Structure 1
Amino acid sequence: MAENKDTQPSSFNDKTFSGVGNLIKLLPTGTVFIFQFLNPVLTNNGRCSIINKYMTGIFLALFGFSCCFSCFTDSYKGPDGVIHYGIVTVKGLWLSTNVEGVDLSKYKLRFGDFVHAFFPLIVFGVVALLDPNTVHCFYPAFESTEKVLMMVLPPVIGAISGTVFALFPCNRHGIGCP
């Protein structure tokens, strides 16, 4: 009976850490970090000219694409012992090199891939578009009129996304995932 008590918390801890691992794996932390690092430069600390607006818009689009694209990649360990990365397609995993003797059709695109791509995009969008420098640059009147929305929306979107990732973990091990 003492062994059962010891294994229950361990199993719970394993599930908890697994859920947190899935959350870290899927949220666009690297993309958000790079955006937070470059955003003050791109927006001129919120005092944008037309060039700053175009550059920031281009980087927002590129970083948003980065958040989604990573959800459509996967990897496997080949017969040669090397990890191969590829892009998930309707027919299976597409690789830049041919690997013989491996069934890549089991890596087919699924509905869950789109769900797992949508939520990181939304998280990044909320964090990036409600950043003070971005707000000052693109829509300065919004900050004074919608302060409550700017304070409440990021944690709510984060909690919803975190719950989805914890309840429906992704089994893809794409580019950037261990």
Structure 2
Amino acid sequence: MCFTDSVRDERGKVRYGIATFKGIWIVDGFVTLSPEQAAKYRIRVLDFVHAIMGILVFMGVALLDQNVVKCLFPLPSQETKEKLVMFPIGVGIVCVLLFVCFPSKRRTIVSPLSKR
């Protein structure tokens, strides 16, 4: 989701696309943007930071499930158990702070442009 964006075409309709290194690739093949307009939507370092943080949050949530923990760590030591309890909390705090400090300007599929 970190590499998707939405743009408004010349008729005002919201179109969705995937950000690339050259610009945005509109999923609907019938719409084309000028190279200058498409270049405004190219991938930036912040997109990769958001993607990595999203993966870390997913890992933190997954480690809250005891079935996942038992699969990855069948016989964990007491120290490992303590780290597994603290990992989701630490990841949550760090990622929330980074998300707040460095918000994404992308209007993804999850939070597209408004209809107007």
Q: TM-score, normalised by structure 2?
A: 0.83
Unaligned stretches of 5+ in structure 2? none
Residue 171, structure 1, aligned to residue 102, structure 2:
no
Q: Which amino acid aligns with 1:77?
A: R
Q: Distance in 2 between matches of 1:120 and 1:143?
A: 28
- Equivalent of residue 80 in structure 1, options 5, 11, 17: 11
Q: Distance in 1 between matches of 2:22 and 2:98?
A: 26
CA contact (8 A) 2:63 2:88 kept: no
> Segments of 4+ in structure 1 off by > 4 A?
none
CA contact (8 A) 1:75 1:173 kept: yes
Q: Distance in 1 between matches of 2:76 and 2:2?
A: 32
The Cα offsets for residues 26-83 of structure 1, whole Å up to 9 and x where unpaired, read as: xxxxxxxxxxxxxxxxxxxxxxxxxxxxxxxxxxxxxxxxxxxx10111112122211
Report the structure number with the largest CA radius of gyration: 1
Q: Distance in 2 between matches of 1:167 and 1:123?
A: 16
Q: How does 1:6-21 map to 2 (within 5 A)?
A: none
Q: How does 1:12-161 map to 2 (within 5 A)?
A: 70-96=1-27, 97-100=29-32, 102=34, 103-142=37-76, 145-161=79-95
| Secondary structure of the structure 2 residue equivalent to 1:90 | coil
Count of residue pairs brought into register by the alignment: 109
Q: Greater helix share, 1 or 2?
A: 1
Q: Distance in 2 between matches of 1:156 and 1:169?
A: 19
| Secondary structure of the structure 1 residue equivalent to 2:75 | helix
Q: Distance in 1 between matches of 2:39 and 2:105?
A: 15
The Cα offsets for residues 111-159 of structure 1, whole Å up to 9 and x where unpaired, read as: 1110011101011012214521111223221275522112211111101
RMSD: 1.8
Q: Distance in 1 between matches of 2:10 and 2:77?
A: 56
Q: Greater strand share, 1 or 2?
A: 2
Q: Which amino acid aligns with 1:159?
A: I
Q: TM-score, normalised by structure 1?
A: 0.56
Higher relative contact order (CA 8 A, sep 6+): 2
